[in-house]
Amino acid sequence: MKKWILLTFGLLGLSPAFAQKGTALFPQVPGMVSYTYRNSFQKDVAATLDTIKALGITDMEFSNLFGKTAVDLRKLLDERGMNCSSFGVGYPDLQNKMAEVTQNAKTLGASFVRVAWIPHTGTFTPEMAQKTVQDFNQFGKALKEAGLTFCYHNHGFEFEKHENGTLFDYIVNNTDPNYVSFELDVLWAFFPGQDPAALLNKYPNRFKLMHLKDLRKGVAGNLSGGTPPTNDVALGTGQLDLPAILRAAQKAGVAHYYIEDESPSIQVQVPQSLAYLKSLKK
């Protein structure tokens, strides 16, 4: 019987281990958002990169140069066999410093330029969303001409109801897919009441990047775009259905996944999150 099992799996191109354990749902090593280690980066960039590299992580998303030039930061990455795939900037930087943003992103070796907040006061409105669409199309066109891809990272407030959907739907549907892509922050989709997996299924190929996070059990969300950092918990210990999200993300064409943990407990939680991702099976 054992020989028959081995022969059967061999013909199928599978190993007995596949039958016993299943294949990994998330076989790759995720990247890291610099904000997770923001306090450490502010003190010692090189030592912090060593800490991240020791976890087996080599792909970075930076949204701060931490007092370094892009040239200096790229040198530190190269010395460690690490890379920066995405460079996060502020909305005003894209409005007023596009040449500098472009140069820094290319120096770092990034393929994506990401913005994570739309400046606004009070409730996010349809008029604000209309202006956002115009700006995003302009930002994206300029960045594409420089060989870069623009991504917007949702933060929760964009999910105000609008017509038959939300203002986030309005932004996705009215931006040019040739110029504008998205980074799905799964916590900031779930927190305002959305289903991250459903968003991925609804807009395949629009989400290029993803922030992997989890929300403490028992925490109720809202449309504020804010929650205490202590509500970020290790992946798999909170409210989000991460296996379903990852399956949808793989079908939707997400290219880079980054762990973002805003909590003060990253020394414990980041290793837990990595172990959780490694444990997932299809």
Give the pLDDT confidence score for residue 160 in this predicted structure: 98
- The model's pLDDT over 208-219, given as tens digits with 9 standing for 90+, comes to 999 999 999 999
- The model's pLDDT over 147-192, given as tens digits with 9 standing for 90+, comes to 999 999 999 999 999 999 999 999 999 999 999 999 999 999 999 9
Confidence label for 54 from pLDDT (cuts 50, 70 and 90): very high
Is the pLDDT score of 13 beyond 60?
no
CA 148 to chain centroid, in Å, comes to: 17
Report the DSSP beta bridge partners of residue 32: 60, 259
Contact 31, 60 (CB under 8 A): yes
- The model's pLDDT over 243-278, given as tens digits with 9 standing for 90+, comes to 999 999 999 999 999 999 999 999 999 999 999 999
79 Cβ neighbours under 8 A, 6+ residues apart: none
Confidence label for 22 from pLDDT (cuts 50, 70 and 90): confident
Give the pLDDT confidence score for residue 9 in this predicted structure: 32
Tell me the CA distances in angstroms from 160 to 182, 204, 222, one per residue in order. Answer: 18, 22, 10
Task: Please give the structure tokens belonging to residue 264.
Answer: 């003060």
Task: Please give the structure tokens belonging to residue 60.
Answer: 């970075």
Can you give the residue ranges of every domain in the chain? 23-279
Task: Please give the structure tokens belonging to residue 5.
Answer: 């099992």
Is the pLDDT score of 129 beyond 70?
yes
Q: What is the pTM of this model?
A: 0.91
Q: What is the DSSP letter of 30?
A: P
Mention the CATH class of domain 23-279: alpha beta
How far is 155 from 140, CA to CA, in rounded Å? 19
Confidence label for 21 from pLDDT (cuts 50, 70 and 90): low
- The model's pLDDT over 29-42, given as tens digits with 9 standing for 90+, comes to 999 999 999 999 99
